[in-house]
Structure 1
């Protein structure tokens, strides 16, 4: 992601579960009584936690299960801003479950089934607690189907991020969900530590285009004044990267020079930017493939929508630019995220520098590649700020929940990588990047794992360097 504050900086137009489960009890069929209630005490097992275990975001995500696949069937009507959906969720329990939670903000929920049987449910703000007809033993696959409808409401955030989630627009919707806005349009486990596959069936009025992650599985079909789009993301994806951005778009499709599918889409207001978005996205994707390792997904590209979000977001396979024409630095940033953030995903938000610091350093690498400012020049420019500047008081290695997208996470994070490059040398540094992306492809990463790999590949003790750059609230002087 690039936020409004950082857009100015980079020259763009502003714009566990707990342990100790009881021994599994035998599965029994507990049909719902006539009054529809079903006390948890009648079930074996225990309730899944209302959070996934991230101490900085204790209510995000849920414990007790792991999602493998979302099948989202959604209809949206821009004039009325009404959304109706059926969310199919394939998951596996990680404990004996008497009940479990889903994250969902707003909407009326009309029906929930678990393994095809009606389940009871309760609402408490964003928590949707589901009690199945029979307890779910540990390590057991199960399916959930949630029918819901209503008018989506985005997250109005008073921090440096602004508004995010499902944002209705005059001709459709702008859908950018970092960090926890997926709950504004479908029920799920809304935390990056539970990635899953996604299938989207999106029905909109004829003439509206629906853009989601991955690839179209068939040509859109129109009947009775409505068009249905089928999209599939076949690689694991964090919920905040899921999108169903809707509207009137001009499209350009083809392949990059290396053969990767490339789709650029722009609101008609930005039609003059279409060719540049398509061409630059292709060039950047192919170049990063030589620096970071093979491109991890089946397509690349980008979307410019006419909504003044003030930020861009690295939606998997389809970076989204909110109400501005991105320059090459911003495109380089968002496409670097396809490796750092999308393929390699953080388990806890405190490690956000592994996404944003890497993408910021990628901007510097792109500048150097183009014969503009070198990475050393850009590093020295940032390092020259006074020792009492705010960036030095915010250690980039632990992003704060109330100031998650602070510029330190980006810039000081990127400077950390340059300091590391200086210390271990170019051959080792670029070998480290490719090893990092290969070892954790489609998986999860932590700062400790990156430090350990850097020390293993370089053969150096790097604790002092990482402590100075990531964890100390002062300007590094030696490392």
Structure 2
């Protein structure tokens, strides 16, 4: 996730929440393996059982936001058929969720907002009663451990955003679904908020495959993650279908309806890139024409881009988010800068293909994306990462004091600068400690090793220790859990 500009001394950065843009607390600015195989299932809103092994997750209850998500559900595939009516700001939807039960239970628990009315629900073809209270959806159908189920919901209503657990200015509009005064829509949902527009297991440990069918009155059209499979206009309606071939956490999903034009680009290695921008504006706003350069720069340091495609979706807000394969960027000079493009694209290695299993480990995403953004900025400025991190160190202790250590942050201050800058300083200290060869081996090998998976701090630190041959538990504990900034060598 990316963040908007802040302290004059600070480098621009982002919360791509794990890459979103906004005003960092304390005045500091924060940003938010080989190419994957061909899609494992045909573009459809239902999925064959044999195609879903890649989406099997080891779910868990989140330690920071336990009220969202339920480890009983392992979502495997979401088929979302969404129709947007801008004249009434109304969403009509048919959702097909294929999931695995991880245990026995008398009912199915999901996250969903009561402002959307469910008109029909079936489980494996049989009608089921539903109950929605607040953001909790329960479906009256028993579950048996390790059995697979297909839930089909039909619902409609006017989605709205939910309150965000953050003090950042760019979170003031909330998380989840947003509708603009022009009746266009966009979604940003880190650390949660997908429940505002579809029934979901809204936690980072559960990754799933997605297919989208997006319908709107022409000339509006729908944009989502993955590859655009088909685009038609008939009877005054546009229909775009999108297929995401690799599993994604719910916070990395994006859907937007608006009047768009799109431009095709390609990276030096052949990654197809699309830029979706306002139909009446610049087709390549800001630095988006440099998107291939950002991918090229990252591939030289991290290895091959880990997905089938990359895209940039420009929307009417002030944030940036590393939504998987189709980053969502606000229409502002900072959000559309090359520095933010580097940050958000970096999240596709750190945050998207390998995702934190628990929100206490969001530092794994933001710290590395911030560090890589700093490396890119240092090259542009003709300076060094030592000098760059010295600048960051001047204010990092204030961020830590205000919002908590990066690995044990204040849950009401999600996305503050503490999860960006402290871990970025930590990576520079590790680089100096283990040397260039081992450090860049760690950078490249981790996302390739954990492609399409999730991990927590213990797993990550254990692997880094094995890879470097160093005992680093105390080092990571100090940087991630101590209330005071560790001394730097």
TM-score of the pair, normalised by structure 2 = 0.85
Is contact 1:63–1:100 with CA below 8 Å preserved after alignment?
Answer: no
Equivalent-residue separation in structure 2 for 1:142 and 1:294 (angstroms):
35
Residue ranges of structure 1 left out of the alignment (5+ in a row):
16-50
- Where does residue 460 of structure 2 map in the other structure? 450
- Where does residue 201 of structure 2 map in the other structure? 189
Is contact 1:352–1:399 with CA below 8 Å preserved after alignment?
Answer: no
Shift of 1:284: 1.1
Residue 309 of structure 2 corresponds to residue 302 of structure 1: no
- Where does residue 46 of structure 2 map in the other structure? none
Is contact 1:101–1:127 with CA below 8 Å preserved after alignment?
Answer: yes
- Where does residue 120 of structure 1 map in the other structure? 129
- Where does residue 28 of structure 1 map in the other structure? none
Equivalent-residue separation in structure 2 for 1:402 and 1:117 (angstroms):
41
- Where does residue 56 of structure 2 map in the other structure? none
TM-score of the pair, normalised by structure 1 = 0.87
Equivalent-residue separation in structure 1 for 2:408 and 2:426 (angstroms):
13
Q: Using a 3 Å threshold, how does the CA distance of structure 1 residues 450 and 199 change in structure 2: closer, same or farther?
A: same
Residue 163 of structure 2 corresponds to residue 156 of structure 1: yes
Shift of 1:334: 0.5
- Where does residue 257 of structure 2 map in the other structure? 246
**Larger CA deviation: 53-62 vs 83-92:** 53-62
- Where does residue 29 of structure 2 map in the other structure? none
Residue 341 of structure 2 corresponds to residue 331 of structure 1: yes
Equivalent-residue separation in structure 1 for 2:481 and 2:294 (angstroms):
32
Q: Per-residue CA shift, 1:137-170, capped at 9, x if unaligned?
A: 2111110001110000112336323322110121
Q: Using a 3 Å threshold, how does the CA distance of structure 1 residues 478 and 382 change in structure 2: closer, same or farther?
A: closer
Equivalent-residue separation in structure 1 for 2:409 and 2:351 (angstroms):
15
Size of the alignment, in residue pairs? 437
2:355 to 342, 345, 358: 345
Q: Using a 3 Å threshold, how does the CA distance of structure 1 residues 81 and 10 change in structure 2: closer, same or farther?
A: farther
Q: Using a 3 Å threshold, how does the CA distance of structure 1 residues 241 and 478 change in structure 2: closer, same or farther?
A: closer
- Where does residue 176 of structure 2 map in the other structure? 165
Equivalent-residue separation in structure 1 for 2:353 and 2:480 (angstroms):
23
Q: How does 1:380-391 map to 2 (within 5 A)?
A: 380-385=390-395, 389-391=398-400
Q: How does 1:266-305 map to 2 (within 5 A)?
A: 266-268=277-279, 270-271=281-282, 273-274=284-285, 276-277=287-288, 279-305=289-315
1:426 to 421, 433, 436: 436
Residue 82 of structure 2 corresponds to residue 74 of structure 1: yes
Q: Using a 3 Å threshold, how does the CA distance of structure 1 residues 345 and 398 change in structure 2: closer, same or farther?
A: same
Q: Per-residue CA shift, 1:101-121, capped at 9, x if unaligned?
A: 111112001111000000111
Q: Using a 3 Å threshold, how does the CA distance of structure 1 residues 384 and 254 change in structure 2: closer, same or farther?
A: closer
Q: Per-residue CA shift, 1:43-95, capped at 9, x if unaligned?
A: xxxxxxxx951122111112322111000011001221100101100011111
Q: Using a 3 Å threshold, how does the CA distance of structure 1 residues 202 and 324 change in structure 2: closer, same or farther?
A: same
Is contact 2:116–2:156 with CA below 8 Å preserved after alignment?
Answer: yes
Equivalent-residue separation in structure 2 for 1:314 and 1:11 (angstroms):
16
Q: Using a 3 Å threshold, how does the CA distance of structure 1 residues 425 and 392 change in structure 2: closer, same or farther?
A: farther
Shift of 1:6: 5.8
Q: Using a 3 Å threshold, how does the CA distance of structure 1 residues 441 and 87 change in structure 2: closer, same or farther?
A: same
Shift of 1:272: 6.6
Q: Which is higher, the Rg of structure 1 or of structure 2?
A: 1
Q: How does 1:171-182 map to 2 (within 5 A)?
A: 171-182=183-194
Q: Using a 3 Å threshold, how does the CA distance of structure 1 residues 77 and 242 change in structure 2: closer, same or farther?
A: same
**Larger CA deviation: 442-451 vs 347-356:** 442-451
Q: Per-residue CA shift, 1:174-219, capped at 9, x if unaligned?
A: 211111111111111111111000000010011112110000112x
Q: Using a 3 Å threshold, how does the CA distance of structure 1 residues 215 and 75 change in structure 2: closer, same or farther?
A: same
- Where does residue 358 of structure 1 map in the other structure? 368
Equivalent-residue separation in structure 2 for 1:111 and 1:2 (angstroms):
39
Q: Using a 3 Å threshold, how does the CA distance of structure 1 residues 234 and 385 change in structure 2: closer, same or farther?
A: closer
Residue 3 of structure 2 corresponds to residue 3 of structure 1: yes
Aligned-residue RMSD, C-alpha: 2.1
Residue 220 of structure 2 corresponds to residue 211 of structure 1: no
Q: Per-residue CA shift, 1:236-279, capped at 9, x if unaligned?
A: 001111111121123111321211110012224651743830x3
Equivalent-residue separation in structure 2 for 1:362 and 1:113 (angstroms):
46
1:96 to 93, 104, 120: 104
Is contact 1:175–1:245 with CA below 8 Å preserved after alignment?
Answer: yes
Equivalent-residue separation in structure 2 for 1:211 and 1:419 (angstroms):
41
Shift of 1:14: 7.1
Q: Per-residue CA shift, 1:371-412, capped at 9, x if unaligned?
A: 53321111111223486x243562112233211111010111
- Where does residue 24 of structure 1 map in the other structure? none
Is contact 2:228–2:241 with CA below 8 Å preserved after alignment?
Answer: yes
Is contact 1:73–1:201 with CA below 8 Å preserved after alignment?
Answer: yes
- Where does residue 36 of structure 2 map in the other structure? none
2:154 to 139, 147, 151: 147
Q: How does 1:412-423 map to 2 (within 5 A)?
A: 412-423=422-433
2:246 to 235, 246, 262: 235
Q: Using a 3 Å threshold, how does the CA distance of structure 1 residues 52 and 146 change in structure 2: closer, same or farther?
A: farther
SS in 1 for 2:412: coil
Is contact 1:68–1:197 with CA below 8 Å preserved after alignment?
Answer: yes
Equivalent-residue separation in structure 1 for 2:450 and 2:195 (angstroms):
27
- Where does residue 437 of structure 1 map in the other structure? 447
